[in-house]
Amino acid sequence: MFKSLRSKWISLLVVLLSLLMLLTGYATLKSMRAHSLQQAELSLGVASKVFQQALDNRAAQLTNSVSLLAADFGFRQAIATAEQATIESVLQNHGSRINAQLSLLLNPQGELLASSNSLNQADISQLLPATLGSTAVTDILLINGRAYQLVVVPVRAPVIIAWVGMGFLVDVPLAEQIKGITGLDISFTQLNDRTGQQVTSTLPLTAQQKLLSNLEQILSSPNTTHFVGEFSYISRGKPLDSDKRLWALLHMPDDRWLTSYQQLRSQLVEIFVFGLLLALAAAFMFARSISKPLSQLSHFARAIGQGNAAVPPPVSQDEIGVLTSTLVNMQHSIAARELQLRQQAEHDALTGLSNRHAVEQRLPAILATQRGTLLQLNIIQFKHINDTLGLANGDSLLQLLAQRLKHHQPVAAMCARLSGDEFLMLFNESLTEPQLVDLYNSLQPAYNIQNSLINLKIAIGIYPFEPGRVSTSEALRRVDLAQENATAAGGGIAFYQHGQDETHQRELTIIRDLPDALISGQLYVMYQPKVELASEQCHSAEALIRWQHPQLGFISPVEFIATAEHSGNISLITQWMLQTVIKQLAAWQRDFPTLRVAVNLSAADLLDQSLPGQIEAMLAQYQVPASALALEVTESAVMQDTSKVIANLNTLKSMAISLAIDDFGTGQSSLAYLKQLPVNEIKIDRAFVKDIETNTNDALIVNATVKLAHGLGLKVTAEGLENQAGLRFLQASGCDTVQGYFFSKPLATADFRQWLINFAAATKPTAEVTE
C-alpha cells in the first residue's frame, strides 16, 4: 500500500494534519481542564475562607455571651463566696439560654470547680495553657470524644478569680449551617487513637464511606486541593486544632466543573472527523499532481544507478526539470568522483602521505607476518610555531618535513601523517643505530619558509616489532609512549622500554576503578594534627586521602590524584572528600567543638562556580558550622584563571570558611596576586622546613615568609617539622602553627580522636600555668 509515492504523500499529509489537529485538541482540552480545575480550586479556597469566617463570627458571638456572664455581679459574688449550688445553677441556666452543650468553671490555676457535664480534671487538661493568660480564649477541642468550639473568659474581681467557659458541639447542624453559606458539603473528622477516624458530614452515606477510605490521603496535605479518582468530589482539608486531631473538610462535586469540559471535548471530536475527511480529499489531489513526473524521473535514476543508458524524461521549467538536468550531469561525474574518493580515503590532503585510516587498514597484515620497525615523529612546540608564523606557514613546514621523510634512504615501506604534527614511518627491517641517527640528522637542517630559516625540534619514538607478537592498537600505543618519552626529554630518539605499557595500563586501571573505589570503602581519610605554638594546643588538622586498591595495593595520593586531574575525575575525589570530612566533623562537634579540618582543592575545583553552593549544602545537611571547615589551595591552582578563582574564594570566605595557600614558595604566583587573595593563612612547604636547623637559606626564607605573612595579616603554618631543633627555630621566628611527624604522623579517625584527647591532657598543665 505504501510503496507508491502517491500513497506516501497522501499518508504523510493525513498524518501531519491529524497530528496537528490532535495536538491542537489536546492543548485546548488540557487548557480547559486546567482552567476548570483552577476555578474549582479557587471556589474551594473562597469557601475555605468563608468557612473560617463563619467559625470566627460564631466564636465572637459566643465570646460576647460568655463575657456577659463573667461580668455579672451576682455570679462573681457566688464564685467569691464559693456558693457551689448557685454557680452550677447559673452555668446551667446561661448555657441553656445560649444553647451551649457544655458549661464549666475553673479556678485561676486551671482546676475544675463546676461543670454542666460529667468531667474530670484530665478532660480539661487541654485548657491549662489558656488559664495562664489574661484574655478570653477561643479554640476547638476534643473532650470526651466529642468536638467542642469552646470559649473561656476570665472572671475578674478585679483580679482574675476564675475562668468561665461555654462549649458548643461541632456537629452536623453546624455543618448544615455552613453548607447553607458556602454551597459546599462539609465534613468534620476526629482522629482518635482508641476509636480511630470518626466523620460527621453532610455528604450522602455512600459518599461518606468512600471518604473514609481516602481520608488519609486528603489529610496528608492540609489546605491543599485533592482530586481522588474513586471519590466523586474534590476536597480540601483544614485542621481545626494545633494537634491536627480535628479537621474540617470541604467537598465540591466533580460534575460542577466537568460539564463544560465534556461538552467541549465532544465538539472537538466532531471537528476532528470533519477535518480528517477534508485532509484526505486535499492529499489525494496534491499527491496526484506531483507523483506522475517523479515516477518517470525515478525510472531514469534507476537506469543511471545500474549503469545503463536511458532517455531522460522531458525537462520541465520547475524543480523537477532542474532535478532531471542534475541527474544527467551527475552520471558524467560519478566515475571521476569514485577515483578521487579512493585517493582521499587513504591519503592526507596536505602532505600527500598516507593517513591514519590507511595505517589501520594495512598495518595488521604487516605486524602479523613481518619483522620491522615503527617510528613516530612529533614536532616539539609546533603550536607555538603555528601561532608565530601563521597556519599557512605551519602547513608549508609540514609539507617540507613530509618531503624529507618520503625521500629518506632507506625508503620507508609506509609513511603517514597521523594527526596535526605527528608522523609515522614503517620499515620492513630492524634499523641500526647509525641508520636512526642518520634519519634524525636528516631532519635537523633548517627549513626555508618565505626566505626564513626555521629549525625544528623533532622527537622520535621507536618500536621494533616481531611478527605476530602485538596487535595494531598495541603497536601504535607503544610507539606513541616512546615518542612521548622523547618529547619529555626535549627531543631526540627514544626506544619503547619494556614496562611502559604496564605503567600505561596501571593508569587506565586507576581511572577505571576510581568511581567504584569511592563507594566501596577502598578510599579512606587520615588526619594530621596542626599544633598552635603560642598556646601549645591543637584545634586544627589536615585531612589526607589514602587508597588501598584490592589488586594494586597501596596507591600513592600523588599518583592517583595526578591521574584523576588529567582524566577530569578530580571532582569525584573532591566531592567524596568534602562529604566524608564534613560528616566526620558532625560526629566530632560534641567532643571537639573548636576543631577545624582542612581539605585540599585542585585547580579544577577552584574553577567550578557551583562549588560554594555544594559545600554550603553539605554543611547544612550535617549541621556543621562553616568555621569548622578549612580549604587549602596551591599557588599554581590560583594561576589557572585568577579572576574566576578569586571570585570563588571570596564567596567561600564570606561563608566563614578559612582559606589557606598550600605549599607556599614552590609555585609560580607573584606577590601582586598574594595581596589580592582572600586567604587567612599560608603554609610554608616542607622543603623549607625539614632542614631548617642546618640550612641557612631555608632559615632565611622561613623568617622572611613569616614576616611577610604577618605584615599582610595572615597566619603561618610550617609543614614538615621533624625535630626539636626545628621547633625551637620556628617558635623563635614567630610561626603560628606547625604540622609534621614531630608531633604526629597522619592518623586514622579513631587514632586521631585519641591523640587529641591525649595531647590535650598532656598540655593542659602548661596551658594553666600560662594563664
pLDDT tens digits for range 247-288: 888 888 877 767 777 777 787 778 877 877 777 777 777 766
| Arithmetic mean of pLDDT, 529-555 | 92
pLDDT for 123 equals 62
CA atoms lying within 13 Å on the CB side of residue 84: 4
pLDDT value at 739 more than 90? yes
Q: What average pLDDT does the structure give for the chain? A: 84
Average pLDDT for residues 477-496, to the nearest whole number? 89
The mean pLDDT value for 475-490 works out to 89
Annotate 222-250 with DSSP letters as a single string.
TT-EEE-TTSSEEEEEEE-STTS-EEEEE
Region label for 709, one of left (φ > 0), alpha (ψ between -120 and 50) or beta (otherwise): alpha
Residue 117 has pLDDT above 70, yes or no: yes
pTM across the whole model? 0.48
- As given in the structure block, the three cell numbers for residue 15 are 498524518
Q: Given its phi and psi angles, is residue 203 left (phi above 0), alpha (psi -120 to 50 degrees) or beta?
A: beta
**C-alpha cell read off for 98:** 445560649
Give the model's pLDDT for residue 650.
Answer: 92
- Helices and strands in the chain: count of H runs, count of E runs: 24, 26
Whether the CA torsion 467, 468, 472, 476 is positive or negative: it is: negative
CA gap 295, 243 in Å, rounded: 80
Q: Is the peptide bond before 158 cis (omega within 30 degrees of 0)?
A: yes
Q: Does the pLDDT at position 587 exceed 90? A: yes
SS3 720: coil
Return the minimum-mean-pLDDT range out of 311-320, 645-654, 679-688: 311-320
Question: Cell 476570665 belongs to which residue?
Answer: 154
Rounded CA separation 368/426 (Å): 14
Pairing label, strands 458-465, 372-379: antiparallel
Mean pLDDT of 176-196: 77
CA distance readout (Å), 63 to 102, 402, 623: 14, 103, 46
Q: Confidence band (pLDDT; 50, 70, 90) for 129?
A: low
pLDDT tens digits, 683-738: 998 989 988 888 889 899 999 999 999 988 999 999 999 999 999 999 999 999 99
Beta bridge partners of 462: 375, 495
The C-alpha atoms of residue 325 and residue 701 are separated, in whole angstroms, by 83
227 near 235, Cβ under 8 Å?
A: no
- pLDDT at res. 6: 65
Return the amino acid letter for 612.
P
pLDDT at residue 5, rounded to an integer: 62
685 class by beta-carbon count within 10 Å (0-12 exposed, 13-18 middle, 19+ buried): buried
Q: Using N-to-C axis directions, what is the helix angle for 570-588 and 557-567, rounded to 10°? A: 130
Distance separating alpha carbons of residues 148 and 170, to the nearest angstrom? 5
Q: Give the gyration radius of the chain's Cα atoms.
A: 44
Cell readout for 237 is: 482539608
Kindly write down the DSSP assignment for every residue of 722-756, as one continuous string: -SHHHHHHHHHHT--EEESTTT---B-HHHHHHHH
- Distance in angstroms (rounded) separating the CA atoms of residues 531 and 528: 10
Complete edge-to-edge strand list for the sheet that includes strand 458-465: 414-419, 422-427, 372-379, 458-465, 492-495
The pLDDT tens digits for 541-553 are 999 999 999 988 9
Question: DSSP letter string over 446-512?
Answer: -EEETTEEE---EEEEEEEE-TTSS-HHHHHHHHHHHHHHHHHTTSEEEE--TTHHHHHHHHHHHHH
| Per-residue model confidence as pLDDT tens digits over 137-173 | 888 877 777 788 888 889 888 888 888 888 888 877 8
CA–CA separation, 151 and 58 (whole Å): 10
pLDDT above 50: residue 770: no
Q: Quote the cell numbers at residue 378.
A: 612529533
Mean pLDDT of 505-523: 87
- Among 150-164, 423-437, 749-763, the range scoring the smallest mean pLDDT is 150-164
pLDDT at 771: 37
- Helix then strand then coil, % of the chain, to nearest 5: 55, 20, 25
Segment 569-580 shows an average pLDDT of 92
Of residues 119 and 706, which shows the higher confidence score?
Answer: 706
Range in 3-12, 553-562, 738-747 the model is least confident about: 3-12
